[in-house]
Every structure is written in structure tokens, then in C-alpha cells.
Amino acid sequence: MKIKVYQSKEDKYVEMEVIAKYKYVGETDELAFINGKIYNCVAYDELNNMARIVDETGEDYIYPLDNFILIKE
């Protein structure tokens, strides 16, 4: 599945492939993540246990997976 992800540096949306979905289980921060909500992952770094996840801003950022549970690959 492809989604449009905002890229602030270019001030435009780009299509990106969703490779997994993660449920956030950390403390809610309405500008980043909401506890219990499922988010799209567009890249994964297995070596460092990090993922590029589309957060509440609609942009993709690299986050550690400590507060996420894999829902779907």
C-alpha cells in the first residue's frame, strides 16, 4: 500500500510504500504519537531497531521502536 507523506524540506507530498504498521504504547504526545494508535512505517533499520514512521504531523521521522508493537508487516 502506498500513502502520501509530507516532506517539509520540499514543501510537498511524496508517495511512499507502507512496509509495516506499529501500535504506539508510550506516553501520548499529540504532536508526535497517541497511545494505542496505529502508525504507518515506511522504512526499517533492523540493525539499530529503528523505523521511519509517519507521526501525527504527517511527516516521516526515524524513531526507536522501544514504544511500538508490530501490528503488520
Q: Give residue 64's domain range.
A: 2-72
Give the tens place of pLDDT for each residue, 4-49.
999 999 999 999 999 999 999 999 998 899 999 999 999 999 899 9
Domain count, the chain: 1
Q: Where are the alpha helices (DSSP H) in 1-73?
A: none
Q: Are 65 and 49 in contact (CB under 8 A)?
A: yes
pLDDT at 58: 95
Q: What is the reported pLDDT for 72?
A: 72
Closest by alpha carbon to 20, among 49, 56, 60, 52?
52
CATH number at residue 20: 2.30.30
